[in-house]
A = this chain, B = another copy of it.
Amino acid sequence: MPNGAQALMKTLVDAGIEVCFSNPGTSEMHFVAALDSEPRMRAVLALFEGVATGAADGYARMADKPAATLLHLGCGLGNGLANLHNARKGKVPVVNIVGDHATYHTRYDAQLQSDIETVARNVSPGFVRTSTRTAELCGDAVEAIAAARGYPGQVATLILPADVSWGEGGLPCPPPPPPHADPADDACVEAIAEAIRSGRRTALLLGGRALREADLLAAARIAAHSGVKLLAEVFPTRLQRGAGLPPVERIAYMAEMAGVQLAQIEELILVDAKAPVSFFAYPGKKSYLAPEGCRVHTLATPSQDTTASLEKLVAALGAGQAEPWLQPAQRPGRPRGKLTAPKVCKAVGHLLPENAILIDEAITSGLMLSAMTAGAPRHDLITLTGGAIGQGLPNAIGAAIACPERPVLALIGDGTAMYTIQSLWTMAREQLNVTAIIFNNASYSVLNVELERVGADQAGPKARSQLDLRGPVLNFAQLAQGMGVHGVRVDTAEDLVKALEYALAQPGPHLIEVLVPESLSGARRKLLPYLLRALPSLPQPVAGALKRKLAP
């Protein structure tokens, strides 16, 4: 009869959990030992827990099923908390396995003892359980798996005391039934169809699972038939976009700009999305962004089947034969000359391969990315769902493991990259096809913007120094090499294009450090973000003129 850990391992893989992103310690040694009892489980070692949790997040976004994490007591969970927060906000399924002291040991309050459940509830409010008996461990695991992959997806945490893991008498359990969700009911669909027919200015706000092809096509049919505007939440978990897919305008990060995008909307229809709110609060500015008097409807909650709900709405409106507008294929030209952040985005748009996975955590430097890749070959875009930076590099690990045949490009800000820089080592160890582009502008650039937006722009040199990453300037190419990743540093568009072509042609991970000036400074800093995020929603002549002015 297997021990607890061995039975758990079998239960996990039987339920389709075939990857475990791990950073183990002593209390997890039996789980680690059990890896060899189960050839179907792939264990991917991370050197820091935030890498493991972010990788599990990225994996699930692309695999549409959870991976497991293996974390070492409360402190390991703490180190993984930020990226679990991102998964929670993105409604991404993750099954945490957090090792704990043996049940009889906790009362001695040894050095690593802490209250794991409380911390876990912060990121997995829907399912936290400490398994206390070996015979019941696999039943607990099945419930965790069911909770994680149900609708909406969520983080589930199973706390595994060492003696429950090593105890004899483990009983593997069969997998939980597949997740199921119902569509919106008829009355709800009819009420929303009625609102659309009213002729009032209407927008469909798509989020969560509603940003995949089937949903986008249904929504685009409705748009074509009824003239509703299509919007996407500001930070999508996973957005399918590019040539041949219906384009959808993302709500801007800047509340001021989002206000412009939403200003005329009288009916806002939510599909696995929340009514938009400002990312942060700013003195004298409002937090809730839907205009006054705008009626908000929910077509599908995160617990419902968005695709079926949208199809019902298509049918109710008679939009089934409407021709959705699809993004035409279109790439920007090859950038030239001294590098700037927009030129980097242009190079990505110029070279983005078919079926790529694009991870955007470039904050200010990525402002032009959406515009520059809009007509690139079809790709998936992954963004910072919870705002806890340090997500992009770990996400890239998980995405590459979920989709080994697809190229992964991760565009990451310098400040952001440093939170989980240990990711590079795992990329090298697993020889993942990830190209990380690190924007080195030697600044927490977004905070220079925010300093002014919050009205604290009288800040002096000490304040500015807190947003300044110079003295010394980081060398990411060297950091990459120190972790076994091929790394280069470039400061011209020509060298970037060469490096990117090389990286995309050669297997294994690559890091390209791009030296760019801060995208935004002084007066431009105040104005540009509003304009840039607005590009997709501006009338074409204005947008065209702006693009010519701003783009490289």
Contacts and interface: CB of A to CB of B under 8 A. Distances in A.
Interface string A452-493: 011110111111011101011111111101111000000000
A22 interface: yes
A530 interface: no
Given A27-B280, A418-B422, 11 more contacts: A26-B447, A29-B456, A35-B460, A36-B459, A47-B419, A78-B119, A108-B287, A110-B387, A118-B118, A475-B482, A478-B478
Contacts of A390: 48, 79
A212 B295 CA distance: 67
Interface of A: 22, 24-27, 29-30, 32-36, 43, 45, 47-48, 50, 74-76, 78-79, 81-82, 85, 89, 101-102, 104-105, 108-112, 114-115, 118-119, 121-123, 162-163, 166, 234-235, 274, 277-281, 283, 287-288, 384-388, 390, 415, 418-419, 421-422, 425, 428-429, 446-447, 450-451, 453-456, 458-463, 465-467, 469, 471-479, 481-484
Nearest to A419: B48
Nearest to A24: B466
A274 to B, nearest CB: 7
27 contacts: A26-B280, A29-B447, A32-B451, A33-B460, A34-B463, A36-B462, A45-B465, A78-B122, A79-B82, A79-B419, A101-B281, A105-B280, A108-B277, A108-B287, A108-B288, A110-B279, A110-B287, A111-B279, A111-B384, A118-B119, A119-B119, A162-B454, A429-B472, A471-B484, A474-B484, A475-B482, A479-B483
B482 A476 contact: yes
Residue among A29, A454, A459, A463 with the highest chain B CB neighbour number at 10 A:
A29
Contacts of A459: 29, 32-33, 36
Contacts of A48: 390, 418-419
Given A36-B462, A474-B482, A455 B166 contact: yes
Contacts of A47: 415, 418-419, 469
A288 B108 CA distance: 7
A277 B110 contact: yes
B78 A111 contact: no
Q: Sorted from nearest, which 5 A-B pairs have the closest CB atoms?
A: A472-B484, A78-B81, A36-B460, A478-B482, A102-B281
Nearest to A39: B462
A134 B395 CA distance: 39
A309 to B, nearest CB: 22
B89 A85 contact: no
A466 B32 contact: yes
B25 A447 contact: yes
Contacts of A425: 418, 472, 474
Best-surrounded residue of A25, A43, A460, A466 (most CB of chain B within 10 A): A466
